[in-house]
């Protein structure tokens, strides 16, 4: 087959060149390149950045695991000389961080290509939002790709597209299927004797599907893209197929030694995959030639074997010092509850510190699937954090459910401080859900519960919540004999009627 080729993308390349020209005059642009999986987004954008006469930064988002917080920024942080906080640190000041990223970017004309943002973490999308709205005076082109068949209604990328729709320097670009003429041309160049009509009909012009069929060399057109991938790998030896299954479980790329250790196979099986072009080599690492091929392979591994591979991946990566996020992913897929619980909270805390709250919630949720292995206090802590992350990301129903479950645990344990705090949160969440009477009931109970304890910030917060959650007909409760009650709070009075301020 001939070398890398790009057909029928002249109009798209012109549109990208025009956006780059705009950014070079100081009106920073954002271009969102959408198309179905395998339509040719990477090919188009790679071709484009290869010809760009300015600094080019490249990053991508990972679909194999829960998204890495600010993953695309981490990949270019060194090139931009932007410092990211180390693991386990306090929550990052995002205003400062985003401003520093922008300052580093605008220092010279730049194209920053971020691939596959349909898998981006919430903090990355916030950064994209921040940069896209600040194109003025910026010689930067933000070039993003996403699978438009994976961003349904309510998907964070769909929301982002809506928010940026009115920003003049933000453009969308579609990557259409290849035409029949292009497919015939690719078939001719490949030298494979294929029925072009069948190729057109089955593949619908999907560039990846077409390429897989033509790499098959026998001209057969399998009924699905997955079959086309698997037909190609079926010709490999059993050892090479085992290696591929292990590589698919490890994600888009893997160190060769890690791969060999996880598959339990010899290194020449890795070489066979490389020789067949199913994996691509680069130094000590190998990578899948395409994410769609990896996805097809993962889907073909039987459940028991999949667990064993994830178990082996956990053991090898644990030994090599991988981070909590990766270890939690493999532990979860291996059905290894104790290790999942050991790593998921750390992964969640890291995500939350960087502002990736959706991902933080995902990690807490995963840990809680094994919550029965924990004592009530630890389970309560995880529920509390899950509820908070859900609250931050607008998942209010789940936030209430988690708080409710936490409250039951706190009550059972007789921990009045945490019970009161949980009640206060339930009041607040109920208020957000427009359930005013519930909000008021929880608010009263929170004050009553915390009033049994020595005064502290929790009681102050409970009163503050009560002041803003109630309605005009209510009067202040005083639960402690001789207690100070609201009359001792600034502006408070034991008989005053709190105003609704929210």
Ligand X SMILES: Nc1ncnc2c1ncn2[C@@H]1O[C@H](COP(=O)(O)OP(=O)(O)OP(=O)(O)O)[C@@H](O)[C@H]1O
Residues 145-164 that bind ligand X (CB under 6 A): 147
Based on CB atoms, which residue is closest to ligand X, 228 or 450?
Answer: 228
Q: Is residue 278 involved in binding ligand X (CB under 6 A)?
A: no
Alpha-carbon span 364 to 387, nearest angstrom: 9
- Compute the 3-state secondary structure of the chain and give helix, strand, coil in percent, each to the nearest 5: 60, 10, 30
CB of 29 to ligand X, least distance (A): 21
Q: Is residue 8 involved in binding ligand X (CB under 6 A)?
A: yes
How many residues bind ligand X (CB under 6 A)? The answer is: 22
Based on CB atoms, which residue is closest to Mg ion, 289 or 411?
Answer: 289
Nearest to 138, CA basis, from 113, 108, 164: 108
Residues 107-136 that bind ligand X (CB under 6 A): 116
Tokens of 236: 């490999």
8, interface contact from ligand X, Mg ion, none, CB < 5-8 Å by kind? ligand X
Would you say 360 and 348 are in contact if contact means Cβ atoms under 8 Å apart?
yes
Q: Which of 202, 226, 290, 350 contacts ligand X by CB under 6 A?
A: 290
Based on CB atoms, which residue is closest to Mg ion, 38 or 135?
Answer: 38
Based on CB atoms, which residue is closest to Mg ion, 42 or 110?
Answer: 42
Residue with token string 């009560």 = 466
287: left (phi over 0), alpha (psi -120 to 50) or beta: beta
290, interface contact from Mg ion, ligand X, none, CB < 5-8 Å by kind? ligand X
Based on CB atoms, which residue is closest to ligand X, 51 or 397?
Answer: 51
Nearest to 80, CA basis, from 65, 91, 70, 68: 70
Based on CB atoms, which residue is closest to ligand X, 178 or 349?
Answer: 178
Sign of CA dihedral 40, 62, 269, 229: negative
Q: Is residue 42 involved in binding Mg ion (CB under 5 A)?
A: yes
Q: Which of 61, 64, 183, 207 contacts ligand X by CB under 6 A?
A: 207
How far from 52 is each of 110, 173, 175, 482, CA to CA, in Å? 9, 18, 19, 75
Sequential DSSP letters for 390-433: HHHTT-HHHHHHHHHHHHHHHHHHT-HHHHHHHHHHHHHHHHHT
Based on CB atoms, which residue is closest to Mg ion, 39 or 138?
Answer: 39
Q: Is residue 211 involved in binding Mg ion (CB under 5 A)?
A: no
How far from 51 is each of 26, 48, 111, CA to CA, in Å? 20, 6, 11
388, interface contact from Mg ion, ligand X, none, CB < 5-8 Å by kind? none
Q: What does the per-residue mask of binding to ligand X show for 30-69, with x meaning CB under 6 A?
A: -----x-xxxxxxx--------------------------
Which residue number places its CB atom closest to Mg ion?
42
**Stretch near ligand X under the rule CB under 6 A, chosen from 66-74, 205-213, 233-241, 382-390:** 205-213
Ranges assigned E (strand) in 81-195: 110-115, 140-147, 170-174
Which residues of this protein are in contact with Mg ion, per CB under 5 A? 41-42
| Binding residues for ligand X (CB under 6 A) | 5-9, 35, 37-43, 116, 147, 186, 207-208, 211, 290-292
């Amino acid at each position: 087959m001939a070398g890398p080729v790009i057909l029928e993308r002249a109009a798209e390349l012109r549109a990208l060149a025009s956006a780059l020209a705009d950014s070079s005059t100081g009106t920073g642009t954002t271009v969102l390149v959408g198309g179905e999986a395998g339509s040719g987004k990477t090919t188009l954008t790679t071709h484009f950045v290869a010809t760009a006469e300015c600094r080019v930064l490249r990053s991508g988002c990972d679909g194999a695991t829960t998204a890495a917080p600010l993953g695309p920024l981490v990949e270019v942080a060194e090139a931009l000389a932007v410092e990211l906080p180390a693991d386990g640190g306090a929550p990052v000041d995002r205003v400062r961080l985003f401003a520093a990223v922008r300052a580093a970017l605008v220092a010279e004309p730049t194209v920053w290509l971020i691939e596959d943002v349909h898998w981006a973490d919430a903090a990355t999308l916030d950064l994209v939002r921040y940069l896209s709205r600040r194109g003025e005076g910026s010689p930067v082109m933000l070039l993003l790709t996403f699978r438009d068949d994976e961003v349904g209604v309510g998907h964070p990328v769909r929301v982002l597209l809506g928010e940026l729709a009115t920003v003049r320097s933000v453009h969308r670009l579609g990557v259409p299927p290849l035409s029949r003429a292009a497919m015939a041309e690719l078939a001719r160049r490949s030298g494979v004797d294929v029925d072009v009509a069948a190729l057109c009909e089955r593949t619908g012009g999907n560039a990846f599907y077409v390429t897989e069929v033509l790499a098959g060399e026998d001209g057969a057109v399998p009924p699905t893209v997955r079959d086309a991938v698997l037909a190609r790998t079926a010709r490999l030896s059993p050892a090479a197929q085992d290696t591929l299954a292990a590589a698919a479980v490890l994600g888009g790329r893997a160190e060769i030694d890690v791969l060999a250790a996880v598959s339990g196979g010899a290194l020449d099986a890795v070489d066979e995959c490389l020789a067949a072009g199913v994996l691509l080599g680069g130094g000590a690492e190998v990578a899948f030639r395409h994410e769609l091929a990896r996805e097809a392979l993962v889907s073909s591994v039987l459940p028991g074997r999949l667990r064993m591979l994830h178990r082996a991946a956990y053991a090898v990566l644990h030994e090599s010092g991988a981070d909590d996020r990766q270890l939690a992913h493999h532990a979860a897929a291996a059905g290894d509850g104790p290790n999942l619980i050991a790593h998921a909270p750390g992964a969640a805390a890291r995500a939350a510190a960087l502002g990736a709250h959706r991902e933080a919630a995902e990690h807490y949720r995963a840990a809680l699937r094994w919550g029965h292995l924990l004592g009530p206090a630890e389970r309560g802590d995880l529920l509390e954090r899950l509820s908070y992350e859900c609250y931050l990301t607008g998942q209010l129903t789940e936030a209430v459910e988690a708080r409710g479950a936490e409250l039951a645990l706190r009550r059972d344990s007789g921990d009045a401080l945490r019970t009161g705090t949980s009640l206060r949160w339930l009041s607040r969440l109920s208020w957000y859900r427009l359930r005013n009477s519930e909000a008021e009931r929880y608010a009263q109970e929170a004050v009553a519960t915390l009033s049994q304890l020595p005064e502290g910030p929790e009681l102050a917060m409970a009163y503050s919540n009560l002041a803003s959650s109630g309605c005009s007909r209510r009067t202040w409760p005083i639960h402690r004999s001789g207690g100070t009650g609201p009359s001792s709070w600034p502006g408070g009075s034991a008989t005053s009627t709190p105003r609704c301020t929210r």
